[in-house]
Amino acid sequence: MRYLPHTDEDIASMLRVVGADTLDDLFSTIPDDCRRPRDLDIPSALTEWELNDLMDALSNSVAAPPEYKLFLGAGRYDHFIPASLTHLLGRSEFVTPYTPYQPEMSQGTLQAIYEYQTLAARLLGMETSNASLYDGASALAEALLMAIRITRRKKVAVSSLIHPYYRRVVQTYLEPTGLKMVELPYLENGRTDLSRLDRIDDLAAVAVQSPNFFGCIEDLAAVGEKSREKDCLFVSSFTEPLAYGLLKNPGSQGADIACGEGQSLGIPKWFGGPGLGMFASKMKYVRSIPGRLVGKSTDKDGKNGFVLTLATREQHIRREKATSNICTNNSLCALAAAMYMASLGGTGIRELAKLNHDKSEYLKQALEEAGFKITFKSPTFNEFVVESPPNFETTYERLLEKKIVAGLPLTPYYPELTGKYLMCVTETKTKEEMDELVEELRN
Amino acid sequence: MAESLGTTGLILNEPLLWEKGKKGRSAFSLPRRDVESTPLDEELTGDGPDFPDLSEIDVVRHYTRLSQWNFCVDAGMYPLGSCTMKYNPKINEKYAALKGFAGAHPMLPPALSQGTLRLMFEMERLLAEITGMDAVTLQPAAGAQGELAGMLLIHAYQQSKDMDRSKIIVPDTAHGTNPASAALCGYRPVPVKSNQNGILSLEAVYEVMDEDTAGIMITNPNTLGLFEENIKAITELVHSKGGQVYCDGANMNAIMGMVHMGQTGIDVLHLNLHKTFSAPHGGGGPGSGPVCVRRHLEPFLPVPRIIEENGNFTFSEDFSDSIGKLHAFYGNFGVIIKAYSYIRAMGPQGLKKASQLAVLNANYVMEQLKGVFHLPYEKPCMHECVFSDKFQRAGKVTTLDMAKRLMDFGFHPPTIYFPLIVDGAIMIEPTETESREEIDLFIEACKTVADEAEKDPDLIRNSPQKCKVKRMDETAAARRPCLAG
């Protein structure tokens, strides 16, 4: 086996050193009743060339761009990734180390993650960011748990326009310890109904997502004001961080914690994972933050460098009183996001965000002109909800055959929105493709 | 000693990203603007982030220089105990990047996602067979989330039986994340000590296991690198008191094809695909932490589950007892691809051989370093062995000093100061992918370091000497945290 370097001679000589006759003898401490009665019943080993065929066949049976045109977002976005990023990210020196426990031989990862923390904090308008969490959903759950720890209250209010899957993950995290999540309904304009908050007391946090699941941009300043009124934390969630190239960031609107999914920043869709849990907060809460943090320090000669820091919050030291149980995070994905933000630059992210917005507006208008109704009137970024004519399901199926995915049917997530579709347009869609979509829909 | 592996060469200084660049540069090929600009309400628009503008070569040089300051498995031996830093096969990276996998959208109708669904379905079956458990979820994003999943499963199962229990037993040889994972689920961890042989005795568990205890979180093989020989009796005892047994399977690399985990009596087990199944560690993730359960816990697994219907694969939410969702989508598919590829490349014999050689390598290291470092538990180990700095402490040289000195010889240090039960622990896990020659060099380096500890302790205390930076001040960093520039 090519991954195993031992020759029979190596094995024999090493066995002699350890005083065993056979490899099986090394397992003498394992009681008989714990041993496998027979060999593993899994397919026999494949050569690299056989494996190539198998993996090609599996991957070819998935509908993916560029062959398929996906007008589909809902938490996973189709964005271009520069070849330089893929190349750099593939470097063994980034891919094959582990968590930088030994700073002296991990300065590359440490500086890169420090830079990620800085860029993420700047993008979100926050004072500090951690080194990453698993994904947007667990980041939201961790943010709410953090707010619960800080305020010592047991209830959180969560907008019903936060990604439905995120809310389900939050539910999973809160339920066993008796913590409560109250959902805020939405208004006709596609934004969260904050008036419901007037009737809820003892809140640890209010959480909204912007742009929300319908693509609408929330009035974050109003949420900030409301949360100050309720004396609770304002958690601003997101699934599309590229929006903050154009929109006011959560920090400027008073968010205490900004958290969400960073997949848009240079990470492939990968059927939903791995992505990047982004997590940023005000500096005053830094000792309550979950996850790893990289900080600046000096070596014994006074030279600048970086280390993992504030480990006393973490599980291996603080045990059951830790701010989180996370150990392995999504470091390489954070690095991808840093490279992506560095490649775009301030000028580039502005233009790319505008392009997403403008293209999405183009399709929105074209659909309206073709007689489709746009369900919610609030401004949107790169997603919006459109109403389909009767019997649209057959059109949707016909388009699939033409390798066009015409949005996401909302019925499974919002049963009251039968016949409404969530459309997404990113920079990857050309005007011709949008025109084709409208033409097909018209037919 | 022959010439040391560790040497110095030219690396380059590199400033922080934002200390470089000039306004107007770009490293991104922006797509053509083929639509008119549409204004957005000014109330909603901001100034955009303050990012530096860099050219492509700026970005490439920046990250290439940074990368050269890292040590990694592809460069050399990384015997970080408990982390299983084995070689990461390169072909796996190619598969994860295949267009159909990397471009797969999680919200597509299942009919358009058959390849991804099939791979995940088959992976569940493979992991069930490898562990000897009945059912598997691939949703947890890493080991610690797998632990949380395990706790949630036990909690949900006991609730369904009207059992409301508040405690969970966590031995001193369990992984560091266990207590925090249990606490997330509302359990109060009850510590229990391992015996003089480094394993858990039935008596110790008997003392603490009661009707208010949900069960036990046991790491097997444990963090001393020892197989919990009493596991079967312990699981029987815990079950007899209505408890469940969670097994932390992070050390599964020692026992593939050898041990039938289901038969040991455990109820739930998590795996780390980035340890046992060769997915790279990425400088700290992404990982993947599948959870395997026995039949009675299957109804509680996270949804959606992947089911097969007449040769087609689809998602099902139809499990009313499920603990719910743990991941925004279905888990870290990009990592699962690599582990799947590894298992298919190894086959049953390859996996077994990997475990055998991992154990051989660890025992070989233990045998050669016995007497050089203090070995607190003198018995054959599994995939890792744990020493301490007891011999060197007299000369005021610590585990930390020796770990730092090992860097100068070209090795990543072992895990240090863990497990906590060994004072000044040095936890060495060579993994099966290190050759005898490489291990001999490591052993030689360890012996030299121990020798220097006696003869030239200052040299050790002033190490590392050959890294980009000298020993970093971690205390100052925590006192006045500077986390962004």
- Of B326, B344, B362, which residue sits at a domain end? B344
- Of A340, A358, A393, which residue sits at a domain end? A340
CATH number of A408's domain: 3.90.1150.10
Instruction: Say how many domains are in chain B.
Output: 2
Average pLDDT over residues B301-325: 97
Partner residue opposite B70 with nearest CB, options A19, A106, A246: A106
- Assess whether A232 and A354 both reside in one domain: no
User: Has residue A9 been placed in a domain?
Assistant: no
User: Has residue A3 been placed in a domain?
Assistant: no
- Assess whether B368 and B449 both reside in one domain: yes
- Assess whether A370 and A430 both reside in one domain: yes
- Assess whether B328 and B386 both reside in one domain: no
User: Has residue A34 been placed in a domain?
Assistant: no
- Assess whether A251 and A364 both reside in one domain: no
- Assess whether B336 and B359 both reside in one domain: no
CATH number of B450's domain: 3.90.1150.10
Short-list A85, A77, A80, CA closest to A342: A85
- Assess whether B306 and B383 both reside in one domain: no
- DSSP-derived secondary structure letter, A345: H
Say yes or no to pLDDT of A443 above 90. Answer: no
What's the pLDDT at B176? 85
Q: Do A268 and B103 touch (CB under 8 A)?
A: yes
Partner residue opposite A309 with nearest CB, options B143, B471, B481: B481
pLDDT tens for A182-203 read: 999 999 999 999 999 999 999 9
Q: Assign 3-state DSSP to chain A and report helix, strand, coil percentages, each to 5.
A: 45, 15, 40
pLDDT tens for A363-414 read: 999 999 999 999 999 999 999 999 988 888 899 999 999 999 999 999 999 9
pLDDT tens for A72-100 read: 999 999 999 999 999 999 999 999 999 99
- Assess whether A314 and A353 both reside in one domain: no
What's the pLDDT at B61? 98
Contacts of A64 in chain B (CB under 8 A): 99-100, 102-105
User: Has residue B482 been placed in a domain?
Assistant: no
Say yes or no to pLDDT of A318 above 80. Answer: no
- Assess whether B299 and B172 both reside in one domain: yes
- Assess whether B369 and B303 both reside in one domain: no
- Percent of chain A scored above 90 by pLDDT? 94
Q: Do A344 and B51 touch (CB under 8 A)?
A: yes
What's the pLDDT at A313? 80
Lookup: tokens for B151: 């706790």
Say yes or no to pLDDT of B1 above 70. Answer: no
> What's the CA gap between A420 and A389, in Å, rounded?
9
User: Has residue B265 been placed in a domain?
Assistant: yes
pLDDT tens for A30-45 read: 999 999 999 999 999 9
- Percent of chain B scored above 70 by pLDDT? 100
- Of A289, A319, A340, which residue sits at a domain end? A340
| pLDDT class of B135 with cuts at 50, 70, 90 | very high
User: Has residue B191 been placed in a domain?
Assistant: yes
Partner residue opposite B334 with nearest CB, options A106, A268, A405: A268
User: Has residue B433 been placed in a domain?
Assistant: yes
| pLDDT class of A298 with cuts at 50, 70, 90 | very high
Q: Do B357 and A354 touch (CB under 8 A)?
A: no
- Assess whether B188 and B158 both reside in one domain: yes
Instruction: Please give, rounded to a whole number of angstroms, the shortest distance from the CA of A268 to a CA of chain B.
Output: 5
- Assess whether B380 and B331 both reside in one domain: no
Say yes or no to pLDDT of A316 above 80. Answer: no
User: Has residue B71 been placed in a domain?
Assistant: no
- Assess whether A335 and A364 both reside in one domain: no
- Assess whether A224 and A269 both reside in one domain: yes
- Of B302, B325, B344, which residue sits at a domain end? B344
pLDDT tens for B346-385 read: 999 999 999 999 999 999 999 999 999 999 999 999 999 9
- Of A340, A368, A385, which residue sits at a domain end? A340
Instruction: Please give, rounded to a whole number of angstroms, the shortest distance from the CA of A310 to a CA of chain B.
Output: 5
Average pLDDT over residues B319-339: 98
- Assess whether A336 and A403 both reside in one domain: no
Average pLDDT over residues B32-36: 96
CATH number of A242's domain: 3.40.640.10
User: Has residue A63 been placed in a domain?
Assistant: no
- Assess whether B258 and B393 both reside in one domain: no
| pLDDT class of A21 with cuts at 50, 70, 90 | very high
Partner residue opposite A92 with nearest CB, options B26, B74, B102: B74
- Assess whether A281 and A313 both reside in one domain: yes
User: Has residue A8 been placed in a domain?
Assistant: no
Q: Do B108 and A72 touch (CB under 8 A)?
A: yes
- Assess whether A92 and A213 both reside in one domain: yes
Query: What is the domain extent for residue A436?
Result: 69-81+346-442
Tell me how many degrees the CA angle A293-A298-A324 measures, rounded to the nearest 5. 15
pLDDT tens for B158-174 read: 999 999 999 999 999 98
Q: Do B63 and A91 touch (CB under 8 A)?
A: yes
Whole-number mean pLDDT of chain A?
96
Whole-number mean pLDDT of chain B?
97
HSE toward the beta carbon, residue B400, CA cutoff 13 A: 12
User: Has residue A334 been placed in a domain?
Assistant: yes
Q: Return the residue of A nearest to B81 by Cα.
A: A98
Q: Return the residue of A nearest to B22 by Cα.
A: A345
- Assess whether B358 and B261 both reside in one domain: no
User: Has residue B355 been placed in a domain?
Assistant: yes
Instruction: Please give, rounded to a whole number of angstroms, the shortest distance from the CA of A442 to a CA of chain B.
Output: 21
What's the pLDDT at B2? 67
Query: What is the domain extent for residue B374?
Result: 349-472
- Percent of chain A scored above 70 by pLDDT? 100
Average pLDDT over residues B27-49: 96
Contact pairs from chain A to chain B, CB under 8 Å: 700
Q: Do B184 and A325 touch (CB under 8 A)?
A: yes
- Of B292, B314, B344, which residue sits at a domain end? B344
- Assess whether A101 and A224 both reside in one domain: yes
User: Has residue A51 been placed in a domain?
Assistant: no
- Assess whether A160 and A218 both reside in one domain: yes
User: Has residue B27 been placed in a domain?
Assistant: no
Instruction: Please give, rounded to a whole number of angstroms, the shortest distance from the CA of A199 to a CA of chain B.
Output: 28
User: Has residue B26 been placed in a domain?
Assistant: no
Instruction: Say how many domains are in chain A.
Output: 2
Partner residue opposite A270 with nearest CB, options B101, B404, B432: B101
Instruction: Please give, rounded to a whole number of angstroms, the shortest distance from the CA of B74 to a CA of chain A.
Output: 6
Q: Do B356 and A23 touch (CB under 8 A)?
A: yes
Average pLDDT over residues B386-411: 97
Mutate to test the interface with A, among B25, B30, B63 (most CBs of A within 10 A): B63
Average pLDDT over residues B74-95: 98
- Assess whether B279 and B409 both reside in one domain: no
The ipTM is 0.97
- Assess whether A352 and A407 both reside in one domain: yes
- Assess whether B163 and B310 both reside in one domain: yes
